[in-house]
Amino acid sequence: MPNYSLPVINGADIFPVHKIICIGRNYAEHAREMGHDPDREPPFFFFKPQSALAQNGDDFYYPDFSHQVEHELELVVAIGKSGTKISATDAADYVFGFAVGLDMTCRDLQKEAKKLGRPWELGKGFDGSAPCTAIQRGGLDDLEQFGDLVLTRNGREVQRGNWRDMVWSIPELIAQVSRYIKLEPGDLIFTGTPAGVGAVEVGDQLEASLQGFSQHLTLRVVSDAQ
């Protein structure tokens, strides 16, 4: 059986990953660049399977079934306690820590599925589509030490945004998700991406960071045929 887990920074523990929950259109400018009005939408979410998880430094294999893979930079919240119907007031008790991740997306598959009125999980949930750093333990109060999320592609900045600009805050996201599904230790919540999503190509080097966070996420895009 594959071992789907992430290291814990400055600790001997590992964080076994259970569910990967991704929030859609949670930054106003990104919602607008995708053609939506952020002021009219409640938060929504979708899932990636455990096999989407990729470790920091792993190669990203460009899937041979897509011709338009795009990067989406995200702050990731790790859940440390079980709960359902959690209030936003109590949400802090369920946070184990934080990480930096990428929601790699086959945009062409997603667009085609939307056009046909079909689910678009194949464009989001393919193997290796959720690269993630190790987990840094901390609570919501510790977020204040972090600044901008930044993504560079081949050394050039392509995405930048601040977690404070999320349309729906982390406590609100935890409350919304737990209204529908039970949150459990090991769950990861990818909290949405700021504006600037764009395509990647074989040979690209990506580096994702969060100001004040101790680890950068790095990956190389390689051909699926290798």
Enumerate domains of the chain plus CATH numbers: 5-223 (3.90.850.10)
- With 90 as the cut, is the pLDDT of residue 182 above it? yes
The tens digit of pLDDT for each residue in 53-106 reads 999 999 999 999 999 999 999 999 999 999 999 999 999 999 999 999 999 999
Q: What pLDDT score was predicted for residue 39?
A: 65
Helices (H), 27-154: 28-33, 107-116
- With 90 as the cut, is the pLDDT of residue 1 above it? no
The tens digit of pLDDT for each residue in 6-52 reads 999 987 789 999 999 999 889 876 555 555 566 656 778 999 999 99
Q: What pLDDT score was predicted for residue 109?
A: 96
The answer to whether 21 touches 125, Cβ cutoff 8 Å, is: no
The backbone torsions φ and ψ at residue 123, rounded to the nearest 5 degrees and listed phi first, read -80, -15
Burial class (CB in 10 A: 0-12, 13-18, 19+), 65: exposed
The backbone torsions φ and ψ at residue 130, rounded to the nearest 5 degrees and listed phi first, read -130, 65
Q: What pLDDT score was predicted for residue 129?
A: 98
Selected residue with higher pLDDT from 24 and 218: 218
Q: Is the pTM of this model over 0.85?
A: yes
Q: What pLDDT score was predicted for residue 3?
A: 77
Q: Average of pLDDT values for 113-125?
A: 92
Taking the C-alpha atoms of residue 8 and residue 137, their distance in angstroms, rounded to an integer, is 7
- The CA-to-CA distance between both ends of the chain, in Å, stands at 24
- With 80 as the cut, is the pLDDT of residue 173 above it? yes
Q: How crowded is residue 177: how many other Cβ atoms within 10 Å of its Cβ? A: 23
Q: What pLDDT score was predicted for residue 71?
A: 98
User: Which residues are CB-contacts of 1 (< 8 A; sequence separation ≥ 6)?
Assistant: none
Q: What pLDDT score was predicted for residue 33?
A: 56
The answer to whether 133 touches 215, Cβ cutoff 8 Å, is: yes
Taking the C-alpha atoms of residue 100 and residue 134, their distance in angstroms, rounded to an integer, is 8
